[in-house]
Amino acid sequence: MRGRYDNLKQTRTLDPRRDYLDIYQTMLRREFPWDMKLGLNLAFNRSFSVPAIAAVHTATGELTDRTQKRIDDTGLLMYEMVLNGFDQPRGRDALRRVNQIHRPYDIGNDDFRYVLGCLVVIPTRWLQEYGWRPPCCHERQATYLFYRELGRRMGITDIPGSYAEFETWFDAHDAAHLQPNDDAAAIERATRMLLLTRLPRLLAPLGNALVSAMYDEPLRRATRVDTPPWPIRAGLHAALKTRARLQRWCGSPRTIPLFAEGIRARSYPDGYEISQLGPHHDRAPE
């Protein structure tokens, strides 16, 4: 199968406690690039939908009035940390900028933990369901450890002690706090274009229904999105399962890693400075 499992074999020789960054980079850049990017998009969508977090975002206007830039800034900062880690200059700069952006807002520790949990759990579950293979135990642990370290450096406390514990905490918090709210609905309407751009052009006429079908029922309810017809939901599920099988049987490892030529974003056709990403607080929340 043309070395289809070579990256997995290499990953299994590593120690996730020491090599979590290498493992997570391989997941994003070589093994599951499309799925990981989509999973992270879905994770951020969910994190924006809890009422307390949604209210902060609508108050700033960043996601509703400057949607493309806000989405690009979030992705750039995240990918800079993944590509460079937390101790290399660009990774340090990105982490510093993330902390600067959040500092002026009164965001509770549980809300920060929930966002972290979305980034740990949602992409992993997507891979479990629709990846060309499910993530192995090393990959789940590396994902957890990467975001635990991110959380520690952001000053987030009481992070659960393992992937399984974090998943359990996340599910309980999600069930209790992901409730219908107008702020989440406004953000979802503004940001769904990100997921629409991830769909093949041939599926564009069904785009809105397919995006809604990617959400589970609690997220649709929180964002006041109608449940799409069951043929759309069933067709999307079947198409994603077929894609996974074709990748498993006919695919081969990516030879050129994602972002090999740098991270690009629509808002910055001529490049960007990390220090300029995100809102600047000389522009007060609206």
What are the tens digits of pLDDT across the range 224-274? 999 999 999 999 999 999 999 999 999 998 999 999 999 999 999 999 999
Q: Which residue has the tokens 């990105």?
A: 94
Q: Which two tokens stand for residue 201?
A: 């052009």
Q: What percent of the chain has pLDDT over 90?
A: 87
Average pLDDT over the chain, rounded to an integer: 94
Residue 205, pLDDT > 90, answer no
Q: Which two tokens stand for residue 219?
A: 């997220």
Query: Burial, 201: exposed, middle or buried (Cβ in 10 Å; 0-12, 13-18, 19+)?
Result: exposed
Q: Which residue has the tokens 């400057």?
A: 66
Residue 56, pLDDT > 60, answer yes
The predicted pLDDT at position 18 comes to: 98
How far apart CA 155 and CA 152 sit, in angstroms, is 5
How far apart CA 41 and CA 90 sit, in angstroms, is 22
> Assign residue 181 a region: left if phi > 0, alpha if psi is -120 to 50, beta otherwise?
beta
The predicted pLDDT at position 168 comes to: 98
For Cα atoms 23, 45, 32, give the angle at the middle one, nearest 5 degrees. 30
Q: What is the DSSP letter of 202?
A: G
Residue 158: partners with Cβ closer than 8 Å, 6 or more residues away: 109, 113
In contact, 170 and 120? CB cutoff 8 Å: yes
Question: What does pTM read for this prediction?
Answer: 0.94
C-alpha torsion 217→222→228→230, nearest 10 = 10
User: DSSP strand E in 152-273: where?
Assistant: none
17-21, 37-41, 186-190, 280-284: segment of lowest average pLDDT: 280-284
The predicted pLDDT at position 283 comes to: 46
The predicted pLDDT at position 281 comes to: 60
